[in-house]
Amino acid sequence: MDRLDYYRTIIRRIIAEQVEVQPAVGNVELVPVCDDTSMNYLVVMLGWDGDDRVDAPVIHIRLRDGKVWLEEDNTDELIVNQLIDAGIPKEEMVLAFYPASERPATEYALA
100-109: list long-range contacts, CB under 8 Å, 24+ apart.
108/80, 109/67
Decide which of 19 and 1 is more confident.
Answer: 19
What are the sequence ranges of the domains in the chain? 3-105
- pLDDT over 90 for what percent of the chain? 86
pTM for this prediction: 0.91
We find that the CATH architecture of domain 3-105 is: 2-Layer Sandwich (3.30)
In the chain, DSSP finds a helix count (H) and a strand count (E) of 2, 5
pLDDT band for 78, please (50, 70, 90 cuts).
confident
Return the DSSP state at 91.
G
Partners of 54 in the beta sheet? 47
List strand residue ranges (DSSP E) for the chain, in order. Answer: 27-35, 40-49, 52-64, 67-73, 93-95
**Cβ-contact 46, 32 below 8 angstroms:** no
Query: For residue 20, is pLDDT > 80?
Result: yes
CB atoms within 10 A of CB 32: 16
Helix (H, G, I), strand (E, B) or coil at 8: helix
**Given pLDDT bands bounded at 50, 70 and 90, which one contains residue 95?**
very high
